[in-house]
Amino acid sequence: MNTKLKDIIENVRLWKRVALIAGVYSFIFSILIIANFAQVNRVDPVNTTVINALVERLSQNPDDVELREEIRQLDLLARKAYFTNQWQIRYGGYMLAIGVLVLIIAMQFISIGKKNLPNIDDKEDYKYLVLQKKARFWVSVGGATIVVLALVFAFLTQNQLKDTFTAKVLAVSQSDMQEVAEQSPISESEITSADHLQAEEEVIEEKIQEVEQAKISTEKVIEKPKVDTSQPKEKTNDYATNEEMKKNFPSFRGFGGTGIAYQKNIPTSWNGESGENILWKTQIPLKGYNSPVVWEGKVFLAGASTTKRELYCFDANSGKILWTVNADNIKGTPAKSPSVRDDTGHSAPTVATDGKRVFAIFSNGDMIAADMQGKRVWAKNLGLPQNHYGYSSSLITYKNLVIVQYDDSKTPKILALSSTTGEEVWSTPRKVKVSWASPILVNTGKRDELMLISEPSIASYDPATGMELWSIDGMYGEVGPSLAYANGIVFGVNEYAMIMAVKVGETPELIWEDSDYLSDIPSPVATDKYLFLPTTYGAVACYDAQTGSLLWEHDFDDGFFASPMLVEGRVYLLDKVGVMQIIKADGKFEQIGQAGLGEATVATPAFSNGRIFIRGEKNLYCIGK
């Protein structure tokens, strides 16, 4: 036997051994993935039944501190179980793919090597080789079948866990909503109709829309913002300066939307039942979950039903409604209002003002602008937002622009309209999923940045042009909380995801992350030193903003939907039953005060010098010394 033939035979043997090892390796990972699927279906991996039972007990015994802590610990274990399983499935799939790839490469080299071997004339040897070839064929078919099953089961396992977590979240959310529902005029049958009868239809619609969005994304050759250069130039300084913005309260969570108020002499005690420090209260004509906005003696709110959409202006001194602007007779308005959850409604986004005009947007995509005297300046429809809970991202202004975060499930985007004409100035498509968060505007020391959060990323844009400046992945889920920012660090959070602390710059850097305390509705607020994070189940946590170390946590009796506001070194945090929890903005927990409104609320308060404005379930309150 010549040397060349011996080398070929040795190479074929070597690749056979590689193929055998890769095949066994792939087989083991396939069996592990299939076994994992069986385990997820056989047991309750996140203790959903146990947690639901404990939540039910807590609703009957709300003062049981030990039970509340047990629920929190189980909730933490559930998240860790979810993260662990997701990690196992993801990396198990990667390892399986590597094993299969090595097996395919080895088989190719074996095939090439055998082509260089001499033909066998012996009939007995030939018959043996035929049988061997058939055996290899059926082994290959069987192995391929197991690998395909493993990949299918990996996909099903992820969906199974998501469904299990969804059931757990819905159970807790319904428990939280029950307190509000008991005080609400909406009947149980109406809530059932809004929340449950359309659930299957909404899920199917969302999946269809995701496919459509994927198709649209692949058709786009250049993902650049669309800038309309044909628009006439705006009048110079036809908007308030930043200093004027800080003196007022122009948007959701104040100037820039970061949860920091610059007002002074803010009260720390009041009582809605006795009337202590309640300067006035006024009934709001239509329902809404948006928060108050204040500008030079005027307070702005919006309200809506399935048939009416309105923008209101209240006198800050008397509470009298000065004017109402209707969002009606708008070209392109859908004939039928969208289906929304009762806890989102048709008027969830907070209005915004640039000091010259006030802007409002509603669940059907209708948007209006009015001047300070109540004259409608312009109105337009942006298209029906496709999101299964209802639209809730609040507006924000930047110089002569009003900016809209329109992250729906069909064509997510961020766009800017001319504040004077309503014409589109720029629009930037986004490769994200549905988000109910609101944008923030910050100056990083080098430039102004517009920052947004949605799955899968925290992203920054030039507010003047819409050009993306940077993006960092790591966020997932149905994002509700907006971002917090301080000292060059932006903080993003979402339930069943994590807290992300990102050092901003040309290349963003994730400096720490944590998953112990997470929020699905209220947004965090930050100082140079601390990050304060409330949750819907009543826990509030304080982190070191630079390192992510947990400095303290405190459990309150009721949960939070409203976002915290930082003012005069204090954190004002309004719970769901209308009690303001006032704590010192410090690394050690210190409660300064506790003040009850006497009415349930989910809206974030607004501030002016010496006063607080709170939207209750039915009334607007003015609180002052």
pLDDT in tens, 330-388: 999 998 889 898 889 999 999 999 999 999 999 999 999 999 999 999 999 999 998 88
C-alpha 15: how far from chain center:
50
pLDDT of residue 141: 59
- The pTM of this model reads 0.68
> Does some domain include residue 314?
yes
> Does some domain include residue 203?
no
Q: What percent of the chain has pLDDT over 90?
A: 58
pLDDT in tens, 129-163: 555 556 566 556 566 676 666 566 565 555 555 55
- If asked whether residues 160 and 267 sit together in one domain, one would say no
DSSP string, 424-473: EEEEEE-----B----EEEE-SS-EEEEEEETTEEEEE-TTT--EEEEEE
C-alpha 275: how far from chain center:
38
Q: Give the residues across from 2 on adjacent strands.
A: none
- If asked whether residues 146 and 260 sit together in one domain, one would say no
- Of 74-78, 109-113, 178-182, 373-377, the poorest mean pLDDT is in 178-182
- If asked whether residues 126 and 265 sit together in one domain, one would say no
The predicted model gives 566-575 an average pLDDT of 97
pLDDT in tens, 469-513: 999 999 989 899 999 999 999 999 998 899 999 999 889 999 999
- If asked whether residues 502 and 582 sit together in one domain, one would say yes
Any idea what the Cα angle at residue 559 is, between residues 63 and 534, rounded to 5°?
125
> Does some domain include residue 377?
yes
Domain-ending residue, one of 182, 207, 227: 182
- If asked whether residues 612 and 557 sit together in one domain, one would say yes
- If asked whether residues 152 and 253 sit together in one domain, one would say no
Lookup: tokens for 275: 């009337």
CA proximity to 581, closest of 555, 599, 547, 606: 555
d(CA 242, CA 397): 11
Conformational region of residue 261, where left means phi above 0, alpha means psi within -120 to 50, and beta covers everything else? beta
- If asked whether residues 96 and 22 sit together in one domain, one would say yes
pLDDT in tens, 189-206: 333 333 443 444 444 444
> Does some domain include residue 207?
no
Mean model confidence pLDDT for the chain: 81
> Does some domain include residue 191?
no
Q: Residue 496: what are its φ and ψ, rounded to 5°?
A: 60, 20
- Of 36-45, 99-108, 147-156, 408-417, the poorest mean pLDDT is in 36-45
- If asked whether residues 294 and 174 sit together in one domain, one would say no
Burial of 592 (0-12, 13-18, 19+ CB in 10 A): middle
Domain-ending residue, one of 156, 182, 208: 182
Instruction: Count up the domains in the chain and report the number.
Output: 2
Identify the residue with better confidence: 249 or 68.
249
d(CA 606, CA 477): 29
Report residue 29's pLDDT band, with 50, 70 and 90 as the boundaries.
Answer: low
- If asked whether residues 256 and 167 sit together in one domain, one would say no
pLDDT of residue 162: 53
Peptide bond into 429 cis (omega under 30): no
The predicted model gives 248-254 an average pLDDT of 97
> Does some domain include residue 589?
yes
**Termini Cα distance of the chain:** 105
Does pLDDT of 180 surpass 50?
no
pLDDT in tens, 54-65: 666 766 676 666
- If asked whether residues 175 and 265 sit together in one domain, one would say no
Burial of 621 (0-12, 13-18, 19+ CB in 10 A): buried
DSSP string, 231-264: SPPPPTT-S--HHHHHHSB-STTSGGGSSB----
pLDDT of residue 97: 75
pLDDT of residue 11: 73
Domain interval for residue 68: 3-182
Identify the residue with better confidence: 167 or 431.
431
> Does some domain include residue 200?
no
Burial per residue of 98-137, b for 16 or more beta-carbon CB atoms within 10 angstroms, e otherwise: ebbebbeebbebbeebeeeeeeeeeeeeeeeeeeeeeeee
Does pLDDT of 261 surpass 70?
yes
Report residue 411's pLDDT band, with 50, 70 and 90 as the boundaries.
Answer: very high
CATH number of 397's domain = 2.130.10.10
> Does some domain include residue 503?
yes
- Amino acid of residue 519: S
- If asked whether residues 176 and 101 sit together in one domain, one would say yes
Half-sphere exposure of 476 (CA within 13 A, CB side): 7
Report residue 182's pLDDT band, with 50, 70 and 90 as the boundaries.
Answer: very low
pLDDT of residue 178: 42
The predicted model gives 534-549 an average pLDDT of 96
Does pLDDT of 210 surpass 50?
no
- If asked whether residues 447 and 580 sit together in one domain, one would say yes
pLDDT of residue 189: 37
Domain-ending residue, one of 166, 182, 198: 182
**All residues at 6 or more sequence positions from 211 whose CB lies less than 8 Å from its CB, including other chains:** none
